[in-house]
Every structure is written in structure tokens, then in C-alpha cells.
Chains A and B, each alone.
Chain A
Amino acid sequence: MAIGCFVGFVVDIDKVALAVISLSLAAFFLLAVKNFKLSTKTKIGLIYGHLILLFFPFVLFTTDFACGAMCMSCQNNTLALVSYSLPTALVLGTIAGFAVIPAFYTFSNKRQTRNREIIEFVRKYSSLLNIRMPKIYIMDKAKPIAFSFKSFRSAIFVSVGMLDILGKKEIQAVLLHELAHIKQRSSMLKFSSFMMNVLSPLSLLTRFHHDTSREEGEADRFAIRTQRTSKYINSAKRKLSEAN
């Protein structure tokens, strides 16, 4: 029984050149993220680009190997190999981005809140919701924003600008809203869906859409139930939209 026409790597100059260019660009993107002062969106775009370019040579050589094993004409046909491996690298890079970007946020916002009141509040309601207490990071941004991740370790991110303009009860309403998202495990999907639409080259082929209105409504309702009023979540939302 034949196990394949050819099982092995044929290293020609075209494939080596593609791999070297891809890895060099991946290294450049990583250095740019580390050394240049860029907006968060640009940084996230570069991280996606880095991951896609990093995967590309490996996918290229694996595809070459698979083409040889299955006696397909794509073996040693650089154009055919690229047309197979590029979409695969895009998919792998995008999926990896979902795991890497929360880590990027976590490591780039090393400042955890020292506010005992906030910490105790989140601890109390995490325990009530039966979830592991998330870390609470403070972002050095004047724009009032708050979001959460449910990744390896859940985390809530709030900007200093948000703490500046919201009152105590409004901050608590926002924290309850984010805790509800962590409980629903919706934050990661929401964030990923948003990033996919904004940054991924895949979004050129299709629009990924994730309807977040149901999760947002549920998170709001949790805050309202807990605080027994919609006053604080509504005023917090109004202030956030006014300032953004």
C-alpha cells in the first residue's frame, strides 16, 4: 500500500524566501508593538499580523508535506501552496489572537486597583455568583471605559477616567454589569467577535456578527436586581456615552 508519492520537504529557494520574509515581518511587527507608541487598535492589529506571519511558514511546509503524502499536484507548486496555506495561517493567527490579546491587555495594564472598597465589593459578588474573583486592573486612560475578559483568568478593566466621573454607586453598577458578563462567559466572545470584524483580514470575506444586545440586557438586569434600582446603571451608561 502506497503511503504517499513523496513524504519529506523539498526546500527550494521560493519557499525559503517566503518563510524568511514572513518571519522577518513577524519579528518587525513584534518589535513595533514593543517599541513604538501606537494606538491600542494598531497594536492589536500588529499582534494579529505577527501571529499570522509567524504561522505562515509552518503551515506552508506542512501543506507541502501533506501534498506530497497525498500525491497532490500542489507539492512543489509555490503558488498553489500559498493559496492553501495563507487562509489556514489567517484562521490559526486569528484564533491564536483571541488567546494572546487578553494576555496582552493583562500584561500592559500591570496596575491593579488598591481600592479596598472595590476589591471587597467584587469579592462579595463573585462569591455570590459562584465565580472565581476576577483581577481588577486600572487603565491609564481618561476615556471612561470598562470591560472584562473571561480567558485563562477573568479580569475586569476600568479606566481612571471612569473612576473620575462616576459616583460610588455608579461604579458598583458597572462592576456588577461586568461580573454578570464574566458569569455568562460572554465577554470573550463579544470581544473576539468585535476584533474579528474590525481587524481580521477574514472580515473582508465575511462579516462575523455576534448579537450582544441580549447579553448586555442580562448584565444590566443583574445590576438592577442587585441594586434594586435602574438609576445607577442608567446614569453610568449616560455618563459613559456622553464622554465617549
Chain B
Amino acid sequence: MVKVDCIRFNENSVDVLSPLENDVLKILWKKGEGMRVRDLYQILKKKRKVALTSVAVILDRLHEKKIVARKIEFGLGGEHYIYFSRCSKSDFEHTVVEKTVNRLIDKFGPVAVTYFNERFSKRGKK
């Protein structure tokens, strides 16, 4: 299960991941297959100033959050990790919404449920 520890509410958006985590995941989703740290770094460095070590740290963090999986492969240059996303973009977003709503209901109980009912009934009428 994907771990969602922190959701940041900015003025115009909601961030679940850091900007670099977001960029790394976008590449993995787009690619749709496993990638090496160095391959991800080669794509990322064209977009932003980033160090290879930072990419490795971010991938390990995403692995700890269970958002990406990894396996050891033996290839050119020896043993290395292949990282791949554990779920599609839409599945990830679904999990984030599900976890957020569940936590709101756990925390605020009937207030949250009543609010969601009102919100959905208004939307239904529209």
C-alpha cells in the first residue's frame, strides 16, 4: 500500500510529493518500464539542475513510501537497481484521494460525512 505521509495545500494546488519526486515519477509513468538511476538522471538533467546522488536518494525515498519498486539486475557495469512504478498515475491518485478521505472521516467523523453528503448532493443536482 502506498504511504502518503504529507499533503501540502498550496494556494493553487495540492502536493503529495516533492517537485523532484514528482518529476521522477512522471518519467517512470511515461516510460512504463523499469529504469536505472543513471537513465533517469540523464532525462532529468535536461529539465532541471540535479545531481545523480539526489536522484538516487529520491528513488530510495519513493521505494520506502512503496510508490516505486526495485530489483537488482546484472548488466553492463555490474549490478544495479532497476526502478519501476508500482501503480499507474490514476491508481496512485485514487489511493491518495482514498487515504485522504478516510483520514478525514476517521478524524472528524459525522462532520466529514455530512459535508461529503452535502457536497455530493449539490454536485448531483447541478
Which residues of A pack against B, CB within 8 Å? 111, 113-115, 117-118, 138, 140, 142-144, 160-161, 163-165, 168, 239, 242-243
Question: Is B28 at the interface (CB under 8 A from chain A)?
Answer: no
The range of chain B's interface size is 20 to 34
Least CB distance, A189 to chain B, in whole angstroms: 29
Q: How far is the CA of A111 from the CA of B80 in the complex (A)?
A: 13
Least CB distance, B101 to chain A, in whole angstroms: 30
Least CB distance, B31 to chain A, in whole angstroms: 17
Q: Is the CB of B52 within 8 A of A160?
A: no
Q: How far is the CA of A34 from the CA of B79 in the complex (A)?
A: 26
Residues of B within 8 A of A160 (CB): 72, 79-81
Residues of A within 8 A of B57 (CB): 243
Least CB distance, A144 to chain B, in whole angstroms: 7
Option from B38, B56, B70 in Cβ contact (under 8 Å) with A243: B56
A-B contact count (CB 8 A): 55
Chain A's closest residue to B74 (CB) is A114
Question: Is B66 at the interface (CB under 8 A from chain A)?
Answer: no
Q: How far is the CA of A239 from the CA of B51 in the complex (A)?
A: 9
Option from B51, B52, B77 in Cβ contact (under 8 Å) with A163: B77
Q: How far is the CA of A161 from the CA of B78 in the complex (A)?
A: 12
| Cβ < 8 Å to A, chain B residues 25-61 | 36-38, 51-54, 56-57, 59-60
Q: Is the CB of A164 within 8 A of B72?
A: no
Option from B38, B60, B79 in Cβ contact (under 8 Å) with A143: B60
Contact A140 B72, CB 8 Å, known A118-B78, A160-B80, A163-B79: yes
Known contacts A113-B78, A144-B56, A160-B80; can you find 17 more A-B pairs with CB under 8 A? A111-B72, A115-B77, A115-B78, A115-B79, A117-B78, A118-B78, A138-B79, A142-B60, A142-B63, A160-B81, A163-B79, A165-B37, A165-B56, A168-B77, A239-B52, A243-B53, A243-B56
Q: Is the CB of A114 within 8 A of B79?
A: yes
Option from A114, A115, A168, A242 in Cβ contact (under 8 Å) with B53: A242
Q: How far is the CA of A235 from the CA of B57 in the complex (A)?
A: 17
Residues of A within 8 A of B81 (CB): 142, 160-161, 164
Q: How far is the CA of A143 from the CA of B51 in the complex (A)?
A: 15
Q: How far is the CA of A239 from the CA of B37 in the complex (A)?
A: 14
Q: How far is the CA of A243 from the CA of B80 in the complex (A)?
A: 16
Residues of A within 8 A of B80 (CB): 160, 163-164
Option from A114, A138, A164, A239 in Cβ contact (under 8 Å) with B36: A164
Residues of B within 8 A of A163 (CB): 77-80
Chain B's closest residue to A241 (CB) is B53
Q: How far is the CA of A8 from the CA of B126 in the complex (A)?
A: 93
Residues of B within 8 A of A117 (CB): 78
Chain A's closest residue to B60 (CB) is A142
Residues of A within 8 A of B59 (CB): 142
Q: How far is the CA of A140 from the CA of B79 in the complex (A)?
A: 10
Q: How far is the CA of A22 from the CA of B98 in the complex (A)?
A: 48
Listed from nearest, the 7 A-B pairs whose CB atoms lie closest are A115-B78, A142-B60, A243-B53, A242-B53, A164-B37, A138-B79, A165-B56
Residues of B within 8 A of A243 (CB): 53, 56-57
